[in-house]
Amino acid sequence: MKILRTPDECFKVVTDFNFEPCYTNIKTEDGSELRIHHIDEGPRDGPILLAMHGQPVWSYLYSRMLPFLTEAGIRVIAPDLPGYGKSDKPASIDDYSYQNQVDWMISWLQKNDFKNLTFFGQDWGGLIGLRMIAEDPDRFTRVAMGNTGLPYNPNTPKDVVDKVKKFRSSNKKITLFSVGAALNKMDSKSLSVDKKEKHHPATKFMYWQKFTWETKNLPIGMINAMQMDKVFKSKFSTLIHYVLQRIWLEKISPFYSYLMKVYEAPFPNSSYKMGPRAMPSHVPTIPDQSLEAQKKAREFFKKSDKPFLSVFAGDDPVTNGIEKDVLEMAPNAKSAPHIGGGHFFQWTRPKQLSDVLINFMKEKK
What are the residue numbers of the active site? 123, 316, 343
**In whole angstroms, how far apart are CA 240 and each of 237, 292, 333?**
5, 45, 44
Query: Do 305 and 183 form a contact (C-beta atoms < 8 A)?
Result: no
Question: What's the rounded Cα separation, in Å, for the pair 105 and 180?
Answer: 30
Query: Do 140 and 117 form a contact (C-beta atoms < 8 A)?
Result: yes
Question: What's the rounded Cα separation, in Å, for the pair 235 and 96?
Answer: 33
Query: Do 4 and 271 form a contact (C-beta atoms < 8 A)?
Result: yes
SS3 125: helix
Question: What's the rounded Cα separation, in Å, for the pair 9 and 1?
Answer: 24
Query: Do 327 and 335 form a contact (C-beta atoms < 8 A)?
Result: yes
Question: What's the rounded Cα separation, in Å, for the pair 79 and 89?
Answer: 14
